[in-house]
Amino acid sequence: MQRLRVAPRKDWQAEVERLGFAYHTLDGETYWDESVAYAFSLREIEEGIEAPTSEIEGLCFAFVERALKDEEILRRLAIPETQWGLIRDSWQRGDRNLYGRLDLAYDGKGPAKLLEYNADTPTSLFEAAVVQWDWLEQAMARGAISRGCDQFNSLHERLIAAFGGLRNPKPERMHFTCVQGSFEDKGTVDYLIDCASQAGIDARFTFIEEIGLLADGRFCDGASLPIEMLFKLYPWEWLFHEQYASALAGARCQFVEPPWKALVSSKGLLPYLWEMAPGHPNLLPAYFEGDPRCAELGANHVRKPLYSREGANVTLVEGGAVRDSDDGPYGAEGFILQATAMLPNFDGNYPVLGSWLVASQPCGLGVREDTTPITKNTSRFVPHFIEP
Amino acid sequence: MKRSTQIGLAAAGVVLVATYWSLSGGETDDSLIYNNLSECRAANQLSASQCEQRFNEASANHLRDAKKFTSSASCEQEYGASGCQSATWNNAQVFIPALAGIMLARQFMSGGGAAQPLLPPTSSACPPGTRQPGSGRPECEQPARSSSSSSSGGYYGGSSSRSRAYTTTTGQAMVARNISSTGMASTPSVASRGGFGSSSRSYSSSSSS
Number of cross-chain residue pairs from A and B with Cβ atoms under 8 Å apart: 181
pLDDT category at B54 given cuts 50, 70, 90 is confident
With 0-12 / 13-18 / 19 or more C-beta atoms within 10 angstroms meaning exposed / middle / buried, residue A55 is: middle
CA nearest neighbour of A357 among A156, A102, A105, A63: A102
A-chain residues near B191 (CB < 8 A): 212-215
Nearest chain A residue to B106, by CA:
A198
User: Is residue B182 pLDDT above 60, yes or no?
Assistant: no
Residue A337: name the closest of A264, A265, A263, A271 by CA.
A271
Please determine, for residue B10, whether its predicted confidence score (pLDDT) is greater than 90: no
Sort out which chain A residues have CB atoms less than 8 A from B13's CB and list them.
190, 193, 205
A150 CB neighbours in chain B (<8 A) are 1-3
At residue B207 the predicted structure's pLDDT band, cuts being 50, 70 and 90, is: low
The pLDDT assigned to B186 comes to: 43
Q: How far apart are CA B159 and CA A226, in angstroms?
A: 26
Question: Which positions ≥6 away from A325 have C-beta within 8 Å?
Answer: A313, A314, A315, A316, A374
Cβ <8 Å between A182 and B207? yes
- Which residues in chain A have their CB less than 8 angstroms from residue B7's CB? 129-130, 133-134, 156
Residues 38-57 of chain A whose Cβ lies under 8 A from any Cβ of chain B: 42, 45
* Separation between Cα atoms, residue B94 and residue B87, nearest integer Å: 5
Mean pLDDT score, B72-99: 89
> Which residues in chain A come in under a pLDDT of 70?
309-312, 324-331, 374-377
For A156-201, what is each residue's pLDDT tens digit?
989 999 999 999 888 889 999 999 988 889 999 999 999 998 888 9
Does the distance separating the beta carbons of B192 and A212 come in below 8 Å? yes
Is there a contact between A154 and B2 if contact means CB atoms under 8 Å apart? Answer: yes
The C-alpha atoms of residue A21 and residue A9 are separated, in whole angstroms, by: 15
Nearest-CA neighbor of A136 among A275, A38, A14, A249? A38
Q: What pLDDT is recorded for position A213?
A: 95
Tell whether A194 lies on the interface with B, counting CB pairs under 8 A.
yes
pLDDT at B20 over 80: no
Q: What is the pLDDT of residue B17?
A: 26
pLDDT for A218 equals: 95
Of A122, A202, A214, the CB nearest to B182: A202
Does A244 sit within 8 Å of B196, measured CB to CB?
Answer: yes
- For residue B2, what is the nearest residue in chain A, using CA coordinates? A152
pLDDT at B24: 30
pLDDT at residue B3, rounded to an integer? 85
Q: Which residues of A touch B200 (CB under 8 A)?
A: 179, 208, 234, 238
Q: Which residue of B has its CA nearest to A134?
A: B7
Question: In percent, how much of chain B has pLDDT > 70?
Answer: 64
User: Are residues A239 and B196, on separate chains, in Cβ contact within 8 Å?
Assistant: yes
User: For residue B179, what pLDDT is reported?
Assistant: 44
> Are the beta carbons of A123 and B15 separated by less than 8 Å?
no
Asked if A182 lies within 8 A of B206 by C-beta distance, the reply is yes
Mean pLDDT of chain B: 69
pLDDT value of position A328: 65
Quickly state the pLDDT bin for B111 (edges 50, 70, 90): very low
Model ipTM value: 0.86
Q: Are A211 and A220 in contact (CB under 8 A)?
A: yes
- How far apart, in whole angstroms, are the C-alpha atoms of residue A261 and residue A121? 10
Residues B84/B76, Cβ–Cβ less than 8 Å: yes
Region for residue A305 given its phi and psi (left: phi exceeds 0; alpha: psi -120 to 50; beta: otherwise): beta
Contact yes or no for A341/A284 (Cβ under 8 A): yes
On the question of pLDDT at B21 being above 90, the answer is: no
**Can you say whether the dihedral through the CA atoms of A129, A130, A131, A134 is positive or negative?**
positive
**A180 neighbourhood in chain B, CB within 8 Å:** 197
The CA–CA distances, whole Å, from A32 to A3, A29, A124, A142, A375 equal 16, 9, 10, 19, 15
Tens-digit pLDDT profile for residues A230-274: 999 999 999 999 999 999 999 999 999 999 999 999 999 999 999
Which pLDDT does position A342 carry in this prediction?
A: 80
In which band, very low, low, confident or very high, does the pLDDT at B26 lie, cut at 50, 70 and 90? very low
Closest residue by Cα to residue B37 from B142, B90, B140, B115: B115
Using alpha carbons, list the distances in angstroms from residue A75 to A21, A71, A89, A150.
Answer: 41, 6, 18, 45
Determine how many CB atoms are found less than 10 A away from the CB of residue B198.
15
When scoring A17, A145, A179, A352 by the number of chain B Cβ atoms within 10 A, the one with the most, hence best to mutate, is A179
The residue with greater pLDDT, B36 or A222, is: A222
Instruction: Give the chain A residue whose CA is nearest to the CA of B206.
Output: A182
**pTM score over 0.95:** no
Q: Are strands A229-232 and A173-177 parallel, antiparallel or unpaired?
A: parallel
A265: closest chain B residue by CA: B209
Are the C-beta atoms of residues B4 and A160 closer than 8 Å to each other? Answer: no
